[in-house]
Amino acid sequence: MAGVMKIRVLIADDHHLVRAGIAALLANQPDIEVVGEAADGLQAIEKVKLLKPDIVLMDINMPLMNGIEAAHRIVHGEPPVKVLILTQYEHEEYVRRVIQSGASGYILKNSLTGDLMLAIHAVQMNEKFFTPSISSLIVQTFVKQTLGEAPQKTTRELTHREMEILQLIAEGNTNQQIAEKLFISVRTVEFHRANILDKVGVHDVAGLVKYAIQKKIIRIDE
């Protein structure tokens, strides 16, 4: 359509098929143009400088630099660029960190196509957009804080695979060694490791092992 100012979008996701699928959806929109793709956080930052998009559609879990850190740098860069988080995660901690990063919205990958289009247009108009379940989570947290309830640190249940990896980490295995023992990729190990750290609320291996022993999740033989 002649004369229509298109919203320039950069897609940042570490899965090629996901990027291709999103790009195909957006290609049908007369006022949206996909100007580029990035496979990790660092690449997203570089592509923003080069391509100057209006909005970055950003996943959270990516190699080299996660989407939240990349979003913070992009939003506070020069010139600043809007970021819309598009992810499968709806954890309260992720939502909190995304809001702190300065991102303009948070939408889940299982959302309807129409919701994604609404989110893009809202963000372009300098509005905030959150998937309904995320909005509900934000409201619940706000109500608890308003009523003076201290936010509770809850430990989400670890999966069987995460328990296996936790045991191997405690035994001093590297990511490569864990990958070889479980017949999975190093990248998969890194993904599970990050999830474990997030679930138990610690920031390093020492804290992780200490927590696991205290909770009797693992046992270190004498």
User: What is the C-alpha to C-alpha distance for residues 24 and 18, in angstroms, rounded to an integer?
Assistant: 10
Give the model's confidence band at 222: pLDDT under 50 very low, under 70 low, under 90 confident, else very high: very low
Mean pLDDT, the chain, integer: 82
Give the model's confidence band at 217: pLDDT under 50 very low, under 70 low, under 90 confident, else very high: low
User: What is the C-alpha to C-alpha distance for residues 106 and 39, in angstroms, rounded to an integer?
Assistant: 19
| SS3 state at 208 | helix
Tens-place pLDDT, residues 16-64? 999 999 999 999 999 999 999 999 999 999 999 999 999 999 998 888 8
Residue type, 8: R
Give the model's confidence band at 2: pLDDT under 50 very low, under 70 low, under 90 confident, else very high: low
Give the model's confidence band at 142: pLDDT under 50 very low, under 70 low, under 90 confident, else very high: low
Q: Do domains 7-146 and 160-214 have the same CATH topology?
A: no
CATH 3.90.180.10 fits 7-146, yes or no: no
CATH 1.10.10.10 fits 160-214, yes or no: yes
Could you state, in order of their start, the residue ranges of all structural domains in the chain?
7-146, 160-214
Q: What is the pTM of this model?
A: 0.63
User: What is the C-alpha to C-alpha distance for residues 32 and 10, in angstroms, rounded to an integer?
Assistant: 11
Mean pLDDT of 83-98: 83
DSSP class of residue 15?
A: -
| Structural tokens at position 131 | 């998937």
Residue-wise burial string across 87-120, b where 16 or more C-beta atoms lie within 10 A, e elsewhere: bebeeeebbebbeebebbbbbbeeeeeeebbebb
More confident residue, 6 or 208: 6
